[in-house]
Structure 1
Amino acid sequence: MYCVNCNKSFSDDYSFCDTCGGKLEKENGTEASQPVTPQPATY
């Protein structure tokens, strides 16, 4: 498992990064990670 925010590596026991709080994903996951494209804020 690794953090999608800071790329820190974790064992499968964790769900969230203990450094930045980011979501963890499996290193060989079947989900294709897609880059996050920032959207302009509308007011």
Structure 2
Amino acid sequence: MLVVETIAKIRRAHFVEGKSIKQTCRELRVSRNTVRKIIRSGAT
């Protein structure tokens, strides 16, 4: 299960820093499907 901090890092990387999903996956070492799910959901 992901920690709230990790979710916040993923959302910040995608929306604020403009990083791609693939780049975010590599940096935070989470799966691409996880990143997509977090970006699509509105929860923080």
In terms of fraction of residues, the more helix-rich structure is 2
Larger relative contact order (C-alpha < 8 A, sep ≥ 6)? 2
In terms of fraction of residues, the more strand-rich structure is 1
Calculate the TM-score normalised by the size of structure 2.
0.26
- Find the structure with the greater CA-based Rg: 1
